Amino acid sequence: MSLDFEPSFNSVPQTPVPSSPAAENSVSTRRDSTETGAAGTESGGESFAEVALRLGGASADEAKRTGAIDTADDQVEDLFAEQYKTVSSPVHRAVWDTTVDTDLFRAKAAHLDTDVAAVSMRSLKVVRDARDNGTLYDERGKISQNVFQSLAAAGYWGLLVGKEYGGSGASMRQFTRVITRMAMIDPTVAGLASVHGCIGAVDPLRSFGNEEQKQRFLPGLADGSRLSAFALTEPGAGSDLTALKTTAHLEGDHYIVNGEKLFITNATFGRTVGLVCKIDDRPSVLIAELPGEETENFHLNRYGLYALRHAENNGLVFKNFRVPATNLLRPPQGDGLTIAYHGLNLGRVSLCANAAGTMRMMLSEMLPWASFRQTYGQAIDRRELVQRRVGHMAGLIVAADALTNWCAGLLDQGYRGEMECIIAKIFGSEAQKEAAIELFMKTHGGRSFLQGHLFGDNVHDFLAPCIYEGEGEMLGMAFFKSLVKDHGKRYFEPIGRTLHELGVTEPSLANPSHLWALRDPMTRYAKWYTGKKLRSTHWVNEPSSTSMPASLQKHLRFAQTYLAASGIRISDAMRKYQLKLADRQCRMSALSAQIQDAITILVTAQAASDQVDEINRIAADAICRHLQRRIVGGHPTDADFRQMTRLGQRIADEGWHELDGSVAATILQSY
């Protein structure tokens, strides 16, 4: 959870550089970051984005800047074994391959680590007791130092640090489970674990640090004596990270840092930060230990911020600030942007896990209020509209759980998981926003805005995740870019280059010279297009009718059919808009959103089929119906309304085991 913005793409080009090799069939693990991976893009120069923008008529500066971001993306891709790269990811396969393993969209059973379980229990007790005793926050309304220290003693801050460095070595499945449970008590404490472990200094060090750096920093990050953040965003550099102005130059055995960072969560005196700066005009990352107080070389830029009010979020101002040269992280290929990109997926999944817990907290507050509040002599939990809200929030929760478990499992297996984790981030943040405004606030009415009410006190925190780790629609375009990249490399980039060599921006099929020049790339594309049209996608390892209810099987089939046809749908858009596709942001966003919803249906339906709780299955069916209508543009039927309201009534009458452990606050202004 951070206001440190994701380096997303400001446009999504269509004509990339030559494609990478096909995924290997042999099983291998993700490369250790100390190994040397492939160097840069295969062209050795221009990236996918730079080629497309240049051929499309963009300015040299825009093409170069966007190309730098795309190159960083390519370099992160090179850190992964072939079968775990984007072209081998479940989402990419579902859209482009003719044979797809349905089991790729089912979360594997999670391993139970007793050490992690013990840390989880101790940490949850610390925060629960502090909440109940009124000592969770200090006089400034921030998480108190006593709580930070008690969580350190419980092992909370070392969950993602390896056991050899004093941590628990939790998998992402285990970690996100802790995040969800912690968010049911306090979402800020849950989010700070993600800031510290996923996008703070922990992931850069464990992924890109040398052994000396790991030995020097990770034990302190594990025991909580040094909490961490990642200092990336600047006043003029958010999504456009090519605008970075913070610099560092080497003097003797230290780097001298000058510049300013903004919106850095968990950054205050005495913290350890991954500091992104330019060294010799190249983005780099230094591990910087902030002093315990202001000095002539460092001070905090404090400002009022409605979101994250229980956490530290400050600007950092460096003036001739000294950082040991031995603190420079050196990725096996790429530069500081490669490091920045690497931890983003962990943060995205953690955000979805946090949303799943936060929505549980909201629902736990809604139920007693709806039972207490009466209109015209009847409790509002007997009213259809309120029952629909309860049922819909249950659906949002089970879908967020499904995406979290699936994506965390992919990361544990070694997948890069960029597209999958973007889906989780966007769904989790948008679901939490909808739950807060449309379901939670509207049910509580005017009491929502009383001081001390869960909504009134936290509304900004409920909404802000829509821009954490990248604003949703911007991320949706990044998702689309990743999805079309390989297809564009294979079939559209050769056409674009040929036209560029001819000096033609709009080819004419009536022109014999155009047809002749394009004969080879057009033949290859026509062969692919015809084959994709004529051959239906074969889905293997599908669940049997005995293991999956008919209602969920129906959703599974819809998602499979929609995804299988999406390759043609996307390719048609690429052919229609050609090099102007980069400027069709609304069309890209719409296509991206529909595919994301189809993936969410596929994952949620499979996850629900593994559930024994009937309420979970009904909630999954309900949210899948909702997402399907969103894709096709339909309206809810009476049957849809009946299903949702009956679900809400059942939860109001019987409770729901997913809410176990939640404690509702006292009803304000009761009568």
Q: How far is CA 643 from the centre of its chain?
A: 31
Helix (H) or strand (E) holding 79: none
Arithmetic mean of pLDDT, 122-129: 98
The answer, yes or no, to whether residue 505 has pLDDT greater than 90, is: no
- The model's confidence at residue 55, banded by pLDDT at 50, 70 and 90, is low
CB contact at 8 A, 639 and 386: no
> What pLDDT is stored for residue 74 in this prediction?
81
Rounded (10°) CA dihedral 660, 179, 605, 656: 10
> What pLDDT is stored for residue 144 in this prediction?
97
- Whether the CA torsion 101, 102, 106, 108 is positive or negative: it is negative
Reduced to 3 states (helix: H, G, I; strand: E, B; else coil), residue 553 is helix
Condensed to tens digits (0 to 9), the pLDDT of residues 397-448 reads 999 999 999 999 999 999 999 999 999 999 999 999 999 999 999 999 999 9
Q: How far is CA 399 from CA 302, 355, 457, 541, 655, in A?
A: 38, 11, 26, 22, 19
CB contact at 8 A, 564 and 448: no
> pTM score, two decimals?
0.91
Question: How many Å apart are CA 521 and CA 514, to the nearest integer?
Answer: 12
Q: What is the DSSP letter of 3?
A: S
The answer, yes or no, to whether residue 280 has pLDDT greater than 70, is: yes
> What pLDDT is stored for residue 625 in this prediction?
98
The answer, yes or no, to whether residue 375 has pLDDT greater than 90, is: yes
Arithmetic mean of pLDDT, 135-145: 96
> What pLDDT is stored for residue 457 in this prediction?
95
Reduced to 3 states (helix: H, G, I; strand: E, B; else coil), residue 58 is coil
